[in-house]
Each structure stands twice: as C-alpha cells, then as structure tokens.
Amino acid sequence: MSVVLGIETSCDDTAAAVLVDGTVRASVVSSQDAVHGAFGGVVPELASREHLRNLLPVMDAALDRAGITLGDLDAVAVTRGPGLMGSLLVGLSAAKGVALAQDVPLVGVNHLEGHLLSVQLEREVAFPFLALLVSGGHTSLYLARELGVYALVGRTRDDAAGEAFDKAAKLLGLGYPGGRVIDTLAREGNRTAVRFPRARLKGGGYDFSFSGLKTAVRQYVAGSDAGAPADVAASVQESIVDMLVETTCRAAADLRISTVIVVGGVSANSRLRARFDVEASAQGFEVVVPPVHLCTDNAAMIAHVGACRLAHGMVDDLSVSAMATLPLEPGWRS
C-alpha cells in the first residue's frame, strides 16, 4: 500500500489531500476568496498569513477523512513552485516537518505538473498528449511526452486567461474572482452583443495575447453605450474562449496529437468545455477536462504527481527550496 499526503499552498488556497494506492481518500481545500475579495485580487502577505492559520487544521481534516494518521504515511508531496514565495514556504516547511518527523521521503512538486497530470486522477490518459494549462497565473500549451518531460509549445505574451477574466470582471464591476462570476452571468447573455478583439499574433506560432482584450473592455466601460451586464460578460467570455480553442486546435492538428487535455482554474469554464467538445468531435481528437474540483487548485493533484515521482525514485532531500518562478520545461529540476 502506498499512502501519500499532498500539500498545496502556492497561491490563495490552502489544500491537503491523501492518496492511497492512487485513489483520492480525502481532499480538503480551504479557500481564501473571502479574504482577498475586498481587494479584487490576491494580497501576498494576507495569503501567507492565512496559510499559516489554516494549514494544520486542513491537514488534520484530510488525515481524519482518510482515516489515517501521520504514522501511516509513505511520503509527503508538496508544491515547491511556481507561486507566491511566502505562501510556498508555509507548505514546504510543514511538509519538511512531517517528512523529518515521520522519516518518510519528501517529493517537491511543480504546481504546473500537478495541473497537467490532474486528469489522470479521473481516468487513464496516456502520454503523449497536448495540454492547455489555463489558470490565473498561466496560459500555456505543453506537449507532455512522459512523466517529467514537457515541451512548451505556446504561452501567453502578456496576461494569463484567468487574469483576463478577473481583470475584465473588475473593470465591469462584477466582483472577484471574476472567472466564475462571468461564467455564471454569461449563461443569460448574448455572446455576439459586443465584438471584442481576438488576438492572432503575427508569426506567434501557438502563443496567446489577452492585453488587447483588456484594453478593449476598458474602452468599452469608459464609453457611453453600456449594454446589459450579461451580454457584455458573454461577449468577453466568447473572445477569451475563441482564442484558447482556435490556437489549441491548430496546435493539435499541426502536431498530429489525438489527445488534448484542458486543465487549470479556467478549465472550469462551462463555455470553454462546451466549445472544446464541439471542436474535438469535428476535428477528430479526444478532449479530456477534469471535473471542476480538480481544475481549480487542490492537493490531490500534488499527491498524485508525488506518488508518480515516488514510484520512479524521483524524491528530494530536505534541502529542497521553494522557487517562485519554477519552470516546467526540460531541465527544470536542475
């Protein structure tokens, strides 16, 4: 039996999970949305303070729900980057403490690899696959060849897609976090009400850009012909979704990839899921999107990567450090 505790504190969610023989026995996420909501974005100092307050209760809850104690653990997996340095350090210090006290291996996990492999918690997804990672901090296309080998084939040149949702929502006075609010509001809106721009970068390969959209939303808000909020939300969403779907499908066709996965917080978006379903059947590839609770930040995906790496002997010692800008490309561990 293999029992892995996963810990995730890279941004504003405090999470712990227990994986037993590859099955999630418990996954607890304590959201800080209420703390940061008033500021319209994550405040790093508040995030680390909240992690300090919440992490031990969240870990206890995960162990309780899984019906195990610290003594049952075979390994501890923890996010070591990328993320907010103060937040990462809270999780990493706790994980080191558990690994030292229980004398079990520590696996430092790249948060992005957690998102990429989160699909495997629900079903078997074989390498190679193309992964669209869309979150509040990242918008990237990776060709996942095997465990630990990911080639970056496209990335955003400016804002991340989640950031585009959040900034648009802020400009439109819709609250935080913006992605979910826009998604909900857009269900009653007309997607063609406002024609916001879709960036297609010259010679940009599979790169993305959302700064033009942000400027267009700002100009729209400053203008006098304000439409119904649901229509504007649906139009903004359609512009972001169009850019993500078009580029990803083009890359899948060019690279002759038959499996595309969509992961990260923005993959919770209902319109993005629906559009990918339609395009996948039209173009003949399979699209896999994890259920919403695995799309947003969680520790089950960290425990999963930890278990995979443990099985391959890829463990760390207690000197492993947190890295705010830890990349995922080949060689990232060196």
| Other beta carbons less than 10 A from residue 313's beta carbon | 7
48 binds Zn ion, rule: CB under 5 A: no
12 binds Zn ion, rule: CB under 5 A: no
Q: Nearest 5°: phi and psi at 275?
A: -65, -40
For residue 306, the partner it binds in ligand KG4, Zn ion, none, with Cβ less than 5 to 8 A by kind, is: none
Q: How far is the CB of 183 from ligand KG4 (least distance, A)?
A: 4
For residue 179, the partner it binds in ligand KG4, Zn ion, none, with Cβ less than 5 to 8 A by kind, is: ligand KG4
Q: Nearest 5°: phi and psi at 34?
A: -65, -30
168 binds ligand KG4, rule: CB under 6 A: no
Q: Do the Cβ atoms of 208 and 162 come closer than 8 Å?
A: no
32 versus 135: smaller Cβ distance to Zn ion = 135
Q: How far is the CB of 216 from Zn ion (least distance, A)?
A: 26
Q: How far is the CB of 294 from ligand KG4 (least distance, A)?
A: 10
How close are the terminal C-alpha atoms of the chain, in Å? 31
Query: 196-228 burial by CB neighbour count: b if 16+ within 10 A, else e?
Result: beebeeeeeebbbbbebbbebbeebeeeeeeee
Closest by CA position to 99, among listed 80, 66, 76: 76
C-alpha distances (whole Å) from 223 to each of 164, 216, 217, 258, 314 are 20, 10, 10, 44, 55
Closest by CA position to 201, among listed 277, 148, 127, 139: 139
| Other beta carbons less than 10 A from residue 323's beta carbon | 16
| Interface segment toward ligand KG4; rule CB under 6 A; list 14-22, 146-154, 190-198, 263-271 | 263-271
How far apart are the C-alpha atoms of 334 and 329, rounded to whole Å? Answer: 11
136 binds ligand KG4, rule: CB under 6 A: yes
Q: For residue 312, list its beta bridge partners.
A: none
How far apart are the C-alpha atoms of 92 and 79, rounded to whole Å? Answer: 7
Q: Which of 113, 159, 166, 231 is close enough to bind ligand KG4 by CB under 6 A?
A: 166
265 binds ligand KG4, rule: CB under 6 A: yes
183 binds ligand KG4, rule: CB under 6 A: yes
14 binds Zn ion, rule: CB under 5 A: no
| Interface segment toward ligand KG4; rule CB under 6 A; list 62-70, 172-180, 220-228, 314-322 | 172-180
Q: Which of 59, 117, 266, 308 is close enough to bind ligand KG4 by CB under 6 A?
A: 266
297 binds Zn ion, rule: CB under 5 A: yes
296 binds ligand KG4, rule: CB under 6 A: yes
For residue 105, the partner it binds in Zn ion, ligand KG4, none, with Cβ less than 5 to 8 A by kind, is: none
Q: Coil, strand or helix: which one is 137?
A: coil
Q: Which of 135, 140, 235, 259 is close enough to bind ligand KG4 by CB under 6 A?
A: 135
What is the size of the binding site for ligand KG4 (CB under 6 A)? 19
135 binds Zn ion, rule: CB under 5 A: yes
Q: Nearest 5°: phi and psi at 76?
A: -120, 130
63 versus 140: smaller Cβ distance to ligand KG4 = 140
Instruction: Give me 148's structure tokens.
Output: 């630990």
Q: How far is the CB of 289 from Zn ion (least distance, A)?
A: 15
| Interface segment toward ligand KG4; rule CB under 6 A; list 27-35, 71-79, 159-167, 300-308 | 159-167
Query: 176-185 burial by CB neighbour count: b if 16+ within 10 A, else e?
Result: bbbbbbbbeb
290 binds ligand KG4, rule: CB under 6 A: no
82 binds ligand KG4, rule: CB under 6 A: no
List residues near ligand KG4 by CB under 6 A: 11, 135-137, 162, 165-166, 177-180, 183, 264-266, 268-269, 296-297
